[in-house]
Amino acid sequence: MSHELGRLEDLPADYVQDLRDLNLVPLWPSLRGVLPPHIPTRQTKPTHWPYKTIKPLLLKAGELTPIEKAERRVLVLANPGHGLEKMQASAAMYLGMQLLMPGEWAPSHRHTPNAVRMIVEGEGAYTTVDGEKCPMRRGDLILTPTGLWHEHGHDGTDPVIWLDVLDLPLVYYMEASYHVNGERQTIHPGQSQQQYAHGGVAPTKVFERSKKAYPMLRYAWTDAKAALEGMAADDPALDAVQVTYINPETGADAENILGFYALMLRPGQRLRLPARSPAQVFHVIEGAVQADMLDQSFTLVEADTCCAPGYEAVTLTNLHADKASFLFIADESPLHRKLGVYENRG
């Protein structure tokens, strides 16, 4: 049952002013705003960022702004529903397309927000995370979790571009976002890529588990793709051919706040994802996919990115009838589950 609540205008102006002078606010005029009926108010709008429109502008940024003047040469994929200046894709997710030109160096820093990179294009770049040199190849996922030093270098001959996904909006909102600059890292042994690259077997820690909270930093696309193709071949009836990027020691999500997944759509497949509370981001690693949500329909080709607000079903259709398409998905599920607000409404 919902009845009309009193408005601010219903109150004597001097009374409201007396409250304000004491840093007090009446709840009832704003109660329905902060606790709307049945479904949250979402500023996150379905938004599509075609790669072909971003790439030339990013390359132009490479001409206009030297790396020393940028530190990170990034065009932010900002959701207009939040206001572009907020640099948010959703309530908790930030997306950016980053360019590194051959020979350039993005210096070492660490920060409280968690980041991952999904490599879009180019050869020869690498990210050093916590002393581990992680080569960047198309489709690879590289973690730079909270607090770990990271820097980017490029020994190749062509521009390298990747998609950054950070939980920056949330960490900033919590007044917990800051960075520290550091020295160039020395590369040390203990390559997580060698130790944890094979699902199902992990290094035996005789006395204790790894001391590292994030034992695996680079997830090669060749491995993730092989896992998806294996699952699809094993069970032709399996609808959601999807893997989650996990911490190989704990089995938990790879990072604490955002979740990361790879999804394979079989030739011509149409897959309805249920309406769940977290917002989601879809990025095409290989193929072409139609993404339908609310009253929007996006045609996503390779390297395109889009986002969907929470509490809405999304239907994904592989636009190729004769081959699989592959998506990278990021969402706010780990956060929603930890906060106890996760819902699947079917």
Chain residues 104-123 in contact with ligand GTQ, contact rule CB under 6 A: 111, 115
* Closest approach of ligand GTQ to the CB of residue 89, in Å: 11
How big is the CA angle at 282 (ends 276 and 287), to the nearest 5 degrees? 135
The C-alpha atoms of residue 285 and residue 137 are separated, in whole angstroms, by 12
The C-alpha atoms of residue 164 and residue 297 are separated, in whole angstroms, by 24
- Please, what is the end-to-end C-alpha distance for the chain in angstroms? 25
Is there binding between residue 96 and ligand GTQ (CB under 6 A)?
yes
Are 42 and 311 in contact by the 8 Å Cβ rule? The answer is yes
Token pair in block for residue 150:
């990271």
Provide the 8-state DSSP code for 241. E
Chain residues 194-233 in contact with ligand GTQ, contact rule CB under 6 A: none
Please work out the total of residues on this chain that contact ligand GTQ, with binding judged by CB under 6 A: 9
Distance of CA 159 to the CA centre of its chain: 22
* Closest approach of ligand GTQ to the CB of residue 34, in Å: 30
Provide the 8-state DSSP code for 200. T
Q: Which is nearer to ligand GTQ, 256 or 290 (CB)?
A: 256
* DSSP H or E stretch at residue 259: strand 259-265
Chain residues 135-154 in contact with ligand GTQ, contact rule CB under 6 A: 150
Interface with ligand GTQ (CB under 6 A), residue from 58, 74, 125, 160: 74
Interface with ligand GTQ (CB under 6 A), residue from 45, 48, 72, 133: 72
Strand 141-144 with 241-244, pairing? unpaired
Q: Which is nearer to ligand GTQ, 307 or 316 (CB)?
A: 307
CB count within 10 Å of CB 75 equals 18
DSSP helix/strand/coil, 180: strand
* Closest approach of ligand GTQ to the CB of residue 28, in Å: 41
Torsion of CA 34, 38, 43, 46, to 10 degrees: 170
Q: Which is nearer to ligand GTQ, 78 or 241 (CB)?
A: 78
* Closest approach of ligand GTQ to the CB of residue 169, in Å: 12
Q: Which is nearer to ligand GTQ, 163 or 271 (CB)?
A: 163
Chain residues 170-199 in contact with ligand GTQ, contact rule CB under 6 A: none
* Closest approach of ligand GTQ to the CB of residue 18, in Å: 45
Print burial letters for 232-264: b (CB count within 10 Å at least 16), e (below 16): beeeeeeeebbbebbbbbeeebbbbbbbbbbbb
* Closest approach of ligand GTQ to the CB of residue 241, in Å: 29
Q: Which is nearer to ligand GTQ, 111 or 336 (CB)?
A: 111
Q: Which is nearer to ligand GTQ, 74 or 241 (CB)?
A: 74
* Closest approach of ligand GTQ to the CB of residue 159, in Å: 15
* DSSP H or E stretch at residue 84: none
Q: Which is nearer to ligand GTQ, 125 or 228 (CB)?
A: 125
* Closest approach of ligand GTQ to the CB of residue 177, in Å: 10
Q: Which is nearer to ligand GTQ, 95 or 265 (CB)?
A: 95
* Closest approach of ligand GTQ to the CB of residue 117, in Å: 7
The C-alpha atoms of residue 199 and residue 36 are separated, in whole angstroms, by 44
Q: Which is nearer to ligand GTQ, 89 or 115 (CB)?
A: 115
Sign of CA dihedral 292, 298, 304, 309: negative
Q: Count Cβ atoms within 10 A of the Cβ of residue 332 and give its class: 0-12 exposed, 13-18 middle, 19 or more buried.
A: buried
Interface with ligand GTQ (CB under 6 A), residue from 164, 255, 286, 331: 164
In the complex, the residues that contact ligand GTQ under the rule CB under 6 A are 72, 74, 96, 98, 111, 115, 150, 164, 166
